[in-house]
Amino acid sequence: MKNRTWTVYLSGEIHSDWRDRIRDGVASADLPVELTGPVTDHATSDNCGVDILGEEPSDFWKDHKGAKLNAIRTRTLIANADVIVVRFGDKYRQWNAAFDAGFATALGKPLVTLHDPELTHALKEVDGAALATASTPQQVVRILGYVCRGTL
């Protein structure tokens, strides 16, 4: 198994550094893991549709255009991932994160959730579909290390 690379999609919160911490942890441990994810620059993600395809007078269609462009990327990368990690922070509604979790679950992809314990009740259905629920990025790194290498 020394050549297998695991592809891990990091979905969810874009306002904290959790992706960087997982990336650093993966690099430090030299794990055979390729990390993918959505576009995490908020303005870019919001404006991509109108920027490329033309302005819209209504917010609904501006958002619609952008959301669909992003979906080209996110659905393809989720469908090609071995594992999906979904992070929920304490701000914003983050419905796209929960949407990704449901999408990945229906595809049969192993799901790992990452959130603070105070979100437990609100996230019970999402956690109920997950194979692991972590509260820190370091735990996610250890999960990936265990999954890839079989050691603790």
CA dihedral 73, 102, 11, 41 (to 10 degrees): 60
Compute the least distance from the CB of residue 20 to its own copies, in Å.
Answer: 15
Q: Is 27 in the site for its own copies (CB under 8 A)?
A: no
Residues in 104-133 that interact with its own copies by CB under 8 A = 104-108, 110, 112, 117, 119-129, 131-133
Three-state secondary structure of 51-65: HHHCCCCCHHHHHHH
Among 16, 23, 32, 73, binds its own copies (CB under 8 A): 73
Cβ-proximal residues to 94 (8 Å cutoff; 6+ apart), any chain:
12, 13, 88
d(Cα 152, Cα 141) in Å, to the nearest integer?
A: 11
Q: Is 29 in the site for its own copies (CB under 8 A)?
A: no
- Looking at the Cβ atoms of 22 and 134, the one nearer to its own copies is 134
Q: Is 91 in the site for its own copies (CB under 8 A)?
A: no
Shortest reach from residue 60's CB to its own copies, in Å: 5
* Residue 30 sits in the site that holds its own copies (CB under 8 A): no
Q: What is d(CA 97, CA 76) in angstroms, rounded to the nearest whole number? A: 15
Count of residues that bind its own copies according to CB under 8 A:
83
Give the contact letters, 42-61, x = binds to its own copies (CB under 8 A), - = no. Answer: --x--xxx-xxx---xxxxx
Contact call for residue 10 and its own copies (CB under 8 A): no
Is residue 111 a contact partner of residue 84, using CB atoms and an 8 Å limit?
yes
* Residue 115 backbone dihedrals phi, psi, to 5 degrees: -165, 165
Taking the complex as a whole, the smallest distance from the CB of residue 146 to its own copies amounts, in Å, to: 5
